Chain A
Amino acid sequence: MTIPTSSVEQVIPGQGAMAQPDPTPAKAKRQRFRFVSNAKALTGIIVLGIYILFAIIGPWVAPYDPDARSRDLTQGPSSSHWLGTTHLGQDVLSQILDGTRTVMVVGLAAGAMATILSVLIGVTAGYLGGSWDDSLSALSNVFLVIPALPLVIIITAAAPSGGATLVALIIGFTSWAWNARVLRAQTLSLRRRDYIEASRATGEKTWRIVLFEILPNLTAIIASGFVGTVIFAVTSEITLAFIGIGSDTGWNWGTILFWAQSQQALAQGAWWWFVPAGLAIAFLGTALSLINFGIDEFVSPRLRSAGKTKVKTASGRTVRMRVGFTPVLSNSSAPHTHAKPIPTIATAAATPVNRSKEATE
């Protein structure tokens, strides 16, 4: 559902070297620190951390049992129910807190599964080439063009209603293709690099090359793919719950929205019922996207907002940094450094002659 926008993902064979990352191992190590210092990535990681915290402690800190009914039917936010109640008097805040765990576990599990599949398929296709590449690429392209969500819906609907694990499996199994494609392209270009060719020439075992030479250089792309899949998995999972299929055990933000929709929360003006769950999804998605922007900018520095795009000239005017028109800060022709016709040295002027003689002899 999220349109893949990462430039890392735009590295598609045939489109040339645009935005190709340059993952040299030594460089990557030096830049790792810079990644965390990227403001976008940092914000994303902090927000994600809060979600993970609530995934762990959520069910314990929830003020009520999310299933427990009360007499406060469809009540707005109050001091006893911070986010109001449902048509059965259930506490919305407790439902959201309780649902965080399911959402995060399913999202991360599906993301991990899709990532493992995409690495296996993408790297194999890119590294082994030949008929392996042809068949695996065809497979990923097929999974790419088949609309994923309808596929997930019909599989989930046909499956016996299982728990969250089944939902995670189905989503993971259907959402690996995009990353596999990106990884294949990148592996292909890595394979042609000199140091990989050299390892192959010296008879290094294939699995060793893949494990120690290829994979470390794919870290950023794999990470970005993982984050992207988690976004997709979370939205899919919530969507399934929203249309009333998938896991029927436990709460999930989608389940809250399902009840809100089916019990006419809109018509009753019960905004507290559906707004918080949606915001929870949106903030999680934004946090994950921010992490991905961070990875993108880390991989291809051109995308980084130039920081200062406006500069002050000597005459006090402001000019914009732009391609094709280099700003002229000053066009005075006074020299900036003071080169001298006569050296200022304390020692005797005789030394130069000696040294130069020595050097020429």
Chain B
Amino acid sequence: MKYLLQRILFYVFTAWAAITINFFIPRMIPGDPVKSLLARFQGQMSSQAIDSLYVLFGLDKDASIWSQYIDYWKQLFHGDLGLSFTAFPAQVSDVISDALPWTLALVGITTIISFFLGTGLGVLAGWRRGSWVDGLLPATTFLSSVPYFWLGLLAIFLLAGPDSFFPSSGGYSPGLVPAFDQYFIPDAIQHSLLPALTILISSVSGWILSMRNMMVTVAAEDYITVAHAKGLSDRRVALSYAARNALLPNVSGFALSLGFIVGGTLLVEIVFSYPGLGFLLFRAVTAKDYPLMQGIFLVITISVLVANLIADIAYLLLDPRTRKEG
């Protein structure tokens, strides 16, 4: 369990680092765009909301940087991320919690599907070199070089439209009320198909390729030759011996690439106007809604850290060498 403790410690440290970066970014930039925005909403804000924005963006020039930092943390612990300007007068935390489930469902599920599908195809490609999966590789290389959002544009152009089965934007049809019922859920799924497909197509090739390369590398290990010499079935050698070992680096690769993938998938939301964090970030950026931007960055980072921790636990379960006895 020492391994897991180390990892948790590391993620706590990383979370601290991300929050600290978030604290310093607005303070390092000359001129304070937030101040001008504050001026615009003058009189409509409670003094408490103004105070909280002062703390978040370091507008109080009298306070030392250290006391600003302490106040910043105090505020975060209360879950206060300030007021959103675009959704004025809503709290940033409320705006984000509305969008978060959409992203978790779309990005989370498609990333997992993509990982398993890609890994499976990678096993095939690596085990049967020169088979049809190997023939897919050039095409997947090309697809993985395409920015996710452009593929989204193309998908909308080719597949969506007024008469199409695929809606071109949004997370659900206008007029429906988000709820877990028989009207809303199928409609939400229908809306998420095209964005999900876009993410899947652009991210799956990376997994195919890395798993294929690991399979090829592992196939030359001694224990694979032993497995063949033992007269085990081809299936058992491929899965229980080769793929089982090749999976390990792919899982740790999964954890490490999450940061990259999430960035790309968020953009797909923008193209599809999908009501998740990515689209929210886009709106915040366009409207220069700094409190919202910073809040979204924090939430995305923390989510990625949690996902990383889950991947670490999976790795722990998969590799006996990281489990210490006793």
Contact = CB atoms under 8 A, between A and B. Distances in A.
Q: Do A and B interact directly, with beta carbons closer than 8 Å?
A: yes
A10 B224 CA distance: 20
Interface residues of A, number: 73
B194 interface: no
B161 to A, nearest CB: 9
A15 B282 contact: no
Contact of B14 (A145, A150, A178, A266): A145
Contacts of A1: 147-148, 260-261, 263-264
Contact of A3 (B156, B203, B237, B301): B203
Interface string B266-282: 11001100000000011
A255 to B, nearest CB: 13
B206 interface: yes
A261 B153 contact: yes
A221 B153 CA distance: 35
A289 B148 CA distance: 16
A290 B137 CA distance: 11
Given A2-B144, A158-B26, A18 B249 contact: yes
B150 A243 contact: no
B128 to A, nearest CB: 8
Contacts of A146: 14, 17-18, 21, 259, 301, 304
Residue from B150, B281, B308 whose CB has the most chain A CB atoms within 10 Å: B150
B220 A150 contact: no
B217 A289 contact: no
A154 B153 contact: no
A316 interface: no
A239 to B, nearest CB: 6
Nearest to A141: B10
Given A18-B214, A320-B130, A244 B285 contact: yes
B301 A266 contact: no
Contact of A150 (B13, B213, B227, B297): B297
A92 interface: no
Given A15-B252, A158-B26, A323 B228 contact: yes
Interface stretch (A211-219, A275-283, A334-342): A275-283
Contact of A147 (B142, B145, B262, B290): B262
B313 to A, nearest CB: 15
A10 B147 contact: no
Interface stretch (A51-59, A77-85, A191-199, A305-313): A305-313
Given A2-B145, A150-B300, A303 B213 contact: yes
A151 interface: yes
Interface in B177-219: 203, 206-207, 209-210, 213-214, 216-219
A110 interface: no
Interface residues of B, number: 84
B156 A266 contact: yes
Nearest to A260: B153
Contact of B281 (A150, A293, A325): A150
A242 interface: yes
Nearest to B322: A14
Interface string A245-268: 100000000000100110000100
B94 interface: no
Residue from A155, A243, A278 whose CB has the most chain B CB atoms within 10 Å: A243
The A interface is mostly helix, strand or loop, or mixed, namely: helix
Interface in B224-248: 224-225, 227-228, 234, 237, 248
A7 B220 CA distance: 15
B29 interface: yes
B192 to A, nearest CB: 19
B39 interface: no
Given A19-B217, A158-B25, A243 B263 contact: no
A302 B18 CA distance: 39
B173 interface: no
A347 B260 CA distance: 77
A7 B217 contact: yes
B315 to A, nearest CB: 10
Contacts of B145: 2, 231, 281-286, 288-289
Contacts of A231: 145
Nearest to B285: A157
A115 to B, nearest CB: 17
B97 interface: no
Question: Sorted from nearest, which 6 A-B pairs have the closest CB atoms?
Answer: A285-B145, A149-B263, A3-B206, A324-B228, A309-B130, A1-B264
29 contacts: A1-B263, A2-B144, A3-B210, A3-B261, A7-B217, A10-B253, A18-B249, A19-B213, A138-B13, A142-B18, A145-B14, A147-B304, A149-B262, A150-B301, A157-B288, A157-B293, A158-B25, A160-B31, A243-B267, A257-B149, A266-B157, A271-B157, A274-B153, A278-B147, A281-B145, A285-B145, A321-B129, A322-B129, A323-B225
